[in-house]
Amino acid sequence: MSAKGLFITFEGGEGAGKSTQIRAFAAWLEEHGHAVTLTREPGGTPLAEAIRGVILGPGGSQDALTQTLLFAAARRDHLLNLIEPALAAGRIVLCDRFTDSTRAYQGGKLDHALIEQTIRLSTGGREPDLTFLLDLAPETGLKRAARRNVAVDAFETADLAFHHGVRARFLALAEANPGRIARIDAGKDQAAVGMAIRAAYTARFTDAAGGRG
C-alpha cells in the first residue's frame, strides 16, 4: 500500500463492465467514509483527454509503438497532475485502465522489454496497490459493448483473435502478480460482480491494514 492514499485500477477487455463497476465501487467506498477520486485512462486531465481523442478517434495511428508512446505521454501527465496529488492527499484513487492495459493491448505487437521501458519512463515505477481484472470471454464483452449507445473506438473493431490475445495477456499478468491482481469473473450479473469486487477489497485491506473497508 502507498504511504498515503490507495491506488486501485480496474482492467479487462472491451465491455467487461469496468465503467459500471468502478462507479458502484466508488459509491460504496464513499458510503464508508472514504474520499474517492474516480478517473480513467487514457484520460483524466485535459491534456490526457485530448490525447485520448487522438488515439481512439478516426485519426489514430495503427502503429503499435506510436500508440504506446501516446498512451505513455497521457499517463505521465495523468500521474503527475491528478493521481499522485490525490494519493498524497490521502484519497483512494480508482482508475479505469492503467499500465496493464498497455501490457495486454500493445504487448501483442511490441517486445516485452520495450513495453516495460515505456511504462517505467511514464510512471517512474508507480504500480497500483490493487488491480481488479474483470475477466470475460471477448465474444460476450464485444456484444455488451455493442449494446452501449456510444461510438465504437479503434480497438473495439480489431478482430476476435486480437481480443483473445488481450485476454490471455491479462490472465498471464494476474498469474504472475497474484498479490496485486485479483481476477473477478465478469460473466456473472452486475450485483454478483460488485459483491466479488468488494469481497476482494475487504480481504486485501480490511484485515491487513486495520479497517480501511
Extract the C-alpha cell encoding 75: 499517463
Extract the C-alpha cell encoding 31: 458510503
Please tell me the distance from the alpha carbon of residue 112 to that of residue 118, in angstroms, as a whole number: 10
Task: Please choose, out of 80-88, 120-128, 140-148, 205-213, the segment that lies near ligand T5A by the rule CB under 6 A.
Answer: 140-148
11 pairs with which residues across the strands?
133
Site string for ligand T5A, 173-212 (x = CB under 6 A): ----------------xx--x-------------------
Extract the C-alpha cell encoding 154: 479503434
Q: Name the minimum Å distance from CB 128 to ligand T5A.
A: 13
Please tell me the distance from the alpha carbon of residue 212 to that of residue 19, in angstroms, as a whole number: 23
DSSP state for residue 195 in the 8-state scheme: H
**12 interacts with ligand T5A by CB under 6 A:** yes
Q: Which is nearer to ligand T5A, 112 or 147 (CB)?
A: 147
Task: Please choose, out of 76-84, 102-110, 123-131, 177-185, the segment that lies near ligand T5A by the rule CB under 6 A.
Answer: 102-110
Q: Which is nearer to ligand T5A, 72 or 205 (CB)?
A: 72
Please tell me the distance from the alpha carbon of residue 106 to that of residue 207, in angstroms, as a whole number: 36
Q: Which of 86, 176, 181 is nearest to 129 (CA)?
A: 181
List residues near ligand T5A by CB under 6 A: 12, 14-20, 41-42, 56, 71, 96-97, 101-102, 105-106, 144-145, 147-148, 153, 155, 189-190, 193
